[in-house]
A = this chain, B = another copy of it.
Amino acid sequence: MPPTTKAIAIIAGVGPGTGASVARRFAQSYPVVLLARNPENFNALAEEINSSGGKAIGISTDLGDVSSVANAFKQIQSEFPDTPVAAAVYNASGRFVRKGLLDMAVEDFVAGYDVSVKGAFVFSQHSIPLLLKHAEKNASADTASNVKSGNYPPTLVFTGATASVKANALMSGFATAKFAMRALSTSIAKEFAPKGLHVAHAIIDGVIDIPRTKEWLKDQPPEAKIAAEDIAESYWNLHTQNKRAFTNEIDIRPQLEKW
């Protein structure tokens, strides 16, 4: 179902896992903008999307840096002038270390906040006006008509983690950042829902199956890990929700996860 309106999707934090899968999924309906610090993280992906009938551009962006994010959005607007954003996904996490509190450097502790919270805040400030532009087109409150037209309410999705709701020992840097990001998501949802913005927070509770986690849970069946493409499918389903049934939080875990 091709959208009737020209609109784009922005994926912040594109790596080999969730970000890439989300980009592929949303590229089925929208031109996608891929933000990551390291171009290696989006070059091949952009090429893959562009060569298979979609459209993608990558912009090298340090999501923990205010002016780098500002520059990325300048590029977005020059590439897609006056174009509404149908979906924005904030999938970036700062570097974090698993360490006892007394052994952790202050810089390590705050590193998670800089990207997961401050970065998410700045990204939201830039993307929300463009998302609201999409809302103005007034996506119908009627399921059948939206599905047919592919004209869904603008959606801002934040990728959380187990640590968004559970603060374990040795995880102070990561958990403080993820708890805070969840608060940011809710606060934005409450402020902008009346204006038509759909905000959702996803608690990813489990190990995502990506190259870096290949050796983890090796002796277990595939259902012990989350498939990034299934996270992407769930994000897409959030995006297609109508105004009369917004989901603001979901959890996602693999079948074999203990919780």
Does any Cβ of B come within 8 Å of A40's Cβ?
A: no
CA distance A209 to B148 in the complex (A): 22
Q: Is the interface of A mostly helix, strand, loop or mixed?
A: helix
A100 and B191 in contact (CB under 8 A), knowing A222-B141, A230-B241, A243-B254? yes
CA distance A179 to B184 in the complex (A): 10
Q: Encode A88-106 as 1/0 by CB contact (under 8 A) with B.
A: 0000000000001110101
Contact in complex: A187, B209 (CB < 8 Å): no
How would residues 185 to 217 of chain A score, 1 for a CB under 8 Å from any chain B CB and 0 otherwise?
111101111101010000000000100000000
CA–CA, A63 and B227, complex, Å: 37
Judged by a CB distance under 8 angstroms, whether A109 is at the interface is: yes
Total copies of this chain within the assembly: 4
Of A153, A183, A192, the most chain B CB neighbours within 10 A belong to A183
Known: A179-B179, A227-B143, A234-B241. A102 touches B121 (CB 8 A): no
Complex contacts, A246 vs chain B, CB 8 Å? 252-255
B187 with A172: CB separation less than 8 A: yes
Judged by a CB distance under 8 angstroms, whether A51 is at the interface is no
Contact B222 A245 (CB under 8 A): no
A113 on interface, CB distance cutoff 8 Å: yes
